[in-house]
Amino acid sequence: MIRYLRLLLLIAPLGMPSITSADTPISAVATVEPVVALTFDDGPHPANTPRLLEIFAREGVRVTFFEVGNHVAKHPELARALVAGGHEIGNHTQSHPNLSRLADPAAVRAEIVDAQGLITKTTGIAPRVFRAPFLAHSPAVWAVLAELRLPSITTEVATKDWDAATTREQILETAAKAGPGDIVLMHTWPDKTVEAMPEIISRLRAKGLRFVTVSELLALAPAAPKPGGATEPGARSP
Protein backbone atom coordinates (compact mmCIF):
# COMPACT_ATOMS: atom_id res chain seq x y z
CA MET A 1 0.00 0.00 0.00
CA ILE A 2 1.32 3.41 -0.93
CA ARG A 3 2.13 5.53 2.09
CA TYR A 4 0.97 9.09 2.46
CA LEU A 5 3.78 11.47 3.16
CA ARG A 6 3.41 13.49 6.33
CA LEU A 7 4.76 16.95 5.66
CA LEU A 8 7.06 18.75 8.00
CA LEU A 9 6.92 22.48 7.36
CA LEU A 10 10.18 24.24 8.12
CA ILE A 11 11.27 27.83 7.83
CA ALA A 12 13.83 28.10 5.07
CA PRO A 13 16.03 31.05 4.13
CA LEU A 14 14.04 34.01 2.86
CA GLY A 15 11.23 33.02 5.21
CA MET A 16 9.56 30.68 2.74
CA PRO A 17 8.17 27.33 3.92
CA SER A 18 9.85 24.20 2.59
CA ILE A 19 9.07 20.52 2.90
CA THR A 20 11.35 17.73 3.97
CA SER A 21 10.56 14.25 2.76
CA ALA A 22 10.12 11.07 4.78
CA ASP A 23 11.67 8.70 2.26
CA THR A 24 8.67 9.25 0.00
CA PRO A 25 8.65 11.24 -3.25
CA ILE A 26 6.08 13.95 -3.88
CA SER A 27 4.01 13.66 -7.05
CA ALA A 28 1.33 16.27 -6.37
CA VAL A 29 -0.18 18.37 -3.60
CA ALA A 30 -3.73 18.14 -2.31
CA THR A 31 -4.82 21.76 -2.59
CA VAL A 32 -8.04 23.60 -3.29
CA GLU A 33 -6.10 26.19 -5.25
CA PRO A 34 -6.48 25.89 -9.07
CA VAL A 35 -2.75 25.58 -9.71
CA VAL A 36 -0.49 23.25 -11.64
CA ALA A 37 3.32 22.92 -11.75
CA LEU A 38 4.97 22.33 -15.12
CA THR A 39 8.45 20.83 -14.81
CA PHE A 40 11.24 20.21 -17.31
CA ASP A 41 14.22 17.88 -16.88
CA ASP A 42 17.74 17.55 -18.25
CA GLY A 43 18.63 21.13 -19.25
CA PRO A 44 19.87 23.62 -19.89
CA HIS A 45 19.53 22.75 -23.58
CA PRO A 46 21.33 25.19 -25.92
CA ALA A 47 18.52 25.30 -28.50
CA ASN A 48 15.31 24.54 -26.63
CA THR A 49 15.85 26.33 -23.32
CA PRO A 50 15.79 29.74 -25.08
CA ARG A 51 12.69 28.68 -27.03
CA LEU A 52 10.88 27.68 -23.86
CA LEU A 53 11.93 30.89 -22.13
CA GLU A 54 10.49 32.91 -24.99
CA ILE A 55 7.17 31.06 -24.79
CA PHE A 56 6.92 31.43 -21.02
CA ALA A 57 7.81 35.11 -21.14
CA ARG A 58 5.16 35.72 -23.77
CA GLU A 59 2.54 33.75 -21.83
CA GLY A 60 3.47 34.99 -18.36
CA VAL A 61 4.12 31.45 -17.10
CA ARG A 62 6.61 30.39 -14.43
CA VAL A 63 7.82 26.78 -14.25
CA THR A 64 10.47 24.60 -12.63
CA PHE A 65 13.53 23.34 -14.49
CA PHE A 66 15.36 20.35 -12.99
CA GLU A 67 18.86 20.94 -14.30
CA VAL A 68 21.88 18.66 -14.70
CA GLY A 69 25.07 20.08 -13.21
CA ASN A 70 27.26 19.19 -16.18
CA HIS A 71 24.84 21.00 -18.50
CA VAL A 72 24.77 24.04 -16.25
CA ALA A 73 28.58 24.11 -16.40
CA LYS A 74 28.42 24.12 -20.21
CA HIS A 75 25.66 26.72 -20.43
CA PRO A 76 25.86 28.93 -17.33
CA GLU A 77 24.27 31.87 -19.13
CA LEU A 78 21.13 29.81 -19.75
CA ALA A 79 20.91 28.77 -16.10
CA ARG A 80 21.11 32.42 -15.09
CA ALA A 81 18.49 33.29 -17.71
CA LEU A 82 16.07 30.84 -16.08
CA VAL A 83 16.42 32.63 -12.76
CA ALA A 84 16.16 36.04 -14.42
CA GLY A 85 12.91 34.86 -16.03
CA GLY A 86 11.41 34.09 -12.63
CA HIS A 87 11.62 30.32 -12.97
CA GLU A 88 12.75 27.81 -10.37
CA ILE A 89 15.83 25.62 -10.82
CA GLY A 90 15.83 22.20 -9.18
CA ASN A 91 18.69 19.75 -8.64
CA HIS A 92 18.74 16.87 -11.17
CA THR A 93 22.21 15.53 -10.18
CA GLN A 94 25.58 16.31 -11.66
CA SER A 95 25.70 13.78 -14.51
CA HIS A 96 22.22 12.14 -14.65
CA PRO A 97 22.99 8.57 -13.52
CA ASN A 98 20.47 6.10 -12.18
CA LEU A 99 21.24 6.71 -8.51
CA SER A 100 19.66 3.44 -7.41
CA ARG A 101 22.35 1.58 -9.36
CA LEU A 102 25.30 3.35 -7.76
CA ALA A 103 26.74 0.97 -5.18
CA ASP A 104 28.96 3.55 -3.51
CA PRO A 105 27.06 5.94 -1.20
CA ALA A 106 29.87 8.47 -1.70
CA ALA A 107 29.14 8.52 -5.43
CA VAL A 108 25.46 9.14 -4.75
CA ARG A 109 26.36 11.96 -2.41
CA ALA A 110 28.71 13.54 -4.92
CA GLU A 111 26.07 13.53 -7.66
CA ILE A 112 23.60 15.46 -5.51
CA VAL A 113 25.95 17.68 -3.52
CA ASP A 114 28.12 18.67 -6.51
CA ALA A 115 25.07 19.69 -8.54
CA GLN A 116 23.69 21.63 -5.59
CA GLY A 117 26.92 23.55 -5.22
CA LEU A 118 27.42 24.21 -8.92
CA ILE A 119 23.88 25.48 -9.50
CA THR A 120 24.12 27.69 -6.41
CA LYS A 121 27.47 29.14 -7.48
CA THR A 122 26.29 29.70 -11.06
CA THR A 123 22.92 31.30 -10.34
CA GLY A 124 23.33 32.63 -6.82
CA ILE A 125 20.30 30.62 -5.69
CA ALA A 126 20.40 27.20 -4.03
CA PRO A 127 17.93 24.65 -5.42
CA ARG A 128 15.11 23.90 -2.99
CA VAL A 129 13.78 20.80 -4.77
CA PHE A 130 15.33 17.65 -6.24
CA ARG A 131 14.31 15.16 -8.90
CA ALA A 132 16.10 11.84 -9.27
CA PRO A 133 17.02 10.78 -12.80
CA PHE A 134 14.66 8.03 -13.93
CA LEU A 135 12.74 8.80 -10.70
CA ALA A 136 14.93 6.15 -9.04
CA HIS A 137 15.78 6.31 -5.33
CA SER A 138 17.82 4.37 -2.79
CA PRO A 139 18.55 4.63 0.95
CA ALA A 140 21.72 6.56 0.09
CA VAL A 141 19.67 9.08 -1.91
CA TRP A 142 17.24 9.64 0.94
CA ALA A 143 20.10 10.13 3.39
CA VAL A 144 21.63 12.93 1.32
CA LEU A 145 18.27 14.57 0.68
CA ALA A 146 17.51 14.55 4.42
CA GLU A 147 20.85 16.22 5.08
CA LEU A 148 20.22 18.91 2.47
CA ARG A 149 16.53 19.22 3.39
CA LEU A 150 15.53 18.68 -0.24
CA PRO A 151 12.16 17.10 -1.07
CA SER A 152 12.24 14.60 -3.93
CA ILE A 153 9.78 15.49 -6.66
CA THR A 154 8.27 12.92 -9.02
CA THR A 155 5.11 13.45 -11.06
CA GLU A 156 1.39 12.89 -11.21
CA VAL A 157 1.32 13.46 -14.98
CA ALA A 158 4.16 11.84 -16.97
CA THR A 159 4.05 12.88 -20.62
CA LYS A 160 6.68 10.31 -21.68
CA ASP A 161 8.06 12.88 -24.10
CA TRP A 162 11.45 11.12 -23.77
CA ASP A 163 10.09 8.23 -25.82
CA ALA A 164 10.64 8.57 -29.57
CA ALA A 165 7.30 6.86 -30.12
CA THR A 166 5.40 9.54 -28.19
CA THR A 167 3.95 12.11 -30.56
CA ARG A 168 3.42 15.82 -30.09
CA GLU A 169 -0.33 15.23 -29.89
CA GLN A 170 0.10 12.58 -27.21
CA ILE A 171 2.26 14.94 -25.14
CA LEU A 172 -0.41 17.61 -25.52
CA GLU A 173 -3.29 15.33 -24.60
CA THR A 174 -1.49 13.91 -21.56
CA ALA A 175 -0.33 17.27 -20.19
CA ALA A 176 -3.78 18.76 -20.71
CA LYS A 177 -5.24 16.16 -18.31
CA ALA A 178 -3.47 17.77 -15.35
CA GLY A 179 -5.64 19.02 -12.53
CA PRO A 180 -5.24 21.17 -9.41
CA GLY A 181 -2.11 20.36 -7.44
CA ASP A 182 -0.56 18.14 -10.10
CA ILE A 183 3.09 18.12 -11.11
CA VAL A 184 3.63 17.55 -14.84
CA LEU A 185 6.91 16.01 -16.01
CA MET A 186 8.41 16.97 -19.35
CA HIS A 187 11.91 17.37 -20.75
CA THR A 188 13.74 20.34 -22.21
CA TRP A 189 15.35 18.58 -25.17
CA PRO A 190 12.46 17.12 -27.26
CA ASP A 191 11.43 19.54 -30.02
CA LYS A 192 7.92 18.08 -29.92
CA THR A 193 7.53 19.20 -26.32
CA VAL A 194 8.45 22.77 -27.19
CA GLU A 195 6.08 22.70 -30.15
CA ALA A 196 3.22 21.50 -27.95
CA MET A 197 3.83 24.02 -25.18
CA PRO A 198 1.66 26.96 -26.32
CA GLU A 199 -1.37 24.67 -26.71
CA ILE A 200 -0.65 22.94 -23.40
CA ILE A 201 -0.70 26.32 -21.67
CA SER A 202 -3.89 27.30 -23.49
CA ARG A 203 -5.74 24.10 -22.57
CA LEU A 204 -4.75 24.19 -18.92
CA ARG A 205 -5.78 27.84 -18.67
CA ALA A 206 -9.11 26.96 -20.24
CA LYS A 207 -9.62 24.60 -17.27
CA GLY A 208 -9.12 27.54 -14.91
CA LEU A 209 -5.62 26.55 -13.84
CA ARG A 210 -2.74 28.91 -13.20
CA PHE A 211 0.94 28.02 -13.23
CA VAL A 212 3.24 27.91 -10.21
CA THR A 213 6.71 26.63 -9.46
CA VAL A 214 7.12 23.41 -7.49
CA SER A 215 8.19 25.27 -4.35
CA GLU A 216 5.13 27.50 -4.63
CA LEU A 217 2.97 24.42 -4.99
CA LEU A 218 4.53 22.74 -1.95
CA ALA A 219 3.86 25.85 0.10
CA LEU A 220 0.13 25.33 -0.56
CA ALA A 221 0.12 21.82 0.92
CA PRO A 222 -2.48 21.69 3.73
CA ALA A 223 -1.28 18.44 5.28
CA ALA A 224 -0.11 15.84 2.77
CA PRO A 225 0.48 15.52 -0.97
CA LYS A 226 -1.21 12.98 -3.17
CA PRO A 227 0.55 9.61 -2.80
CA GLY A 228 2.81 7.80 -5.20
CA GLY A 229 3.22 9.14 -8.69
CA ALA A 230 4.33 7.86 -12.03
CA THR A 231 7.67 6.26 -12.76
CA GLU A 232 9.64 6.37 -15.94
CA PRO A 233 11.74 3.21 -16.08
CA GLY A 234 12.62 3.81 -19.70
CA ALA A 235 13.42 7.50 -19.36
CA ARG A 236 16.60 8.56 -21.08
CA SER A 237 18.97 11.47 -20.80
CA PRO A 238 19.79 13.69 -23.77
> Active-site residue numbers?
41, 187
> What distance in Å separates the CA atoms of residue 166 and residue 185, rounded to the nearest whole number?
14
For the chain, report the end-to-end CA distance as a whole number of angstroms.
Answer: 34
In Å, how far from its chain's centre is CA 63?
Answer: 9
Which amino acid belongs to residue 138?
S
Helices 48-59, 191-206: crossing angle, 10 deg rounding: 20
Q: Are the CB atoms for 19 and 40 separated by under 8 Å?
A: no
> What distance in Å separates the CA atoms of residue 1 and residue 202, rounded to the nearest whole number?
36
> What distance in Å separates the CA atoms of residue 146 and residue 143, rounded to the nearest whole number?
5
Q: Concatenate the DSSP letters of all residues of 78-105 into one string.
A: HHHHHHHTT-EEEE--SS---GGG---H
**Per-residue DSSP letter, 236:** -
Q: Are the CB atoms for 179 and 148 separated by under 8 Å?
A: no
Ranges of H-type helices in 24-74? 48-59, 69-74
Burial of 10 by CB count in 10 Å (0-12 exposed, 13-18 middle, 19+ buried)? exposed
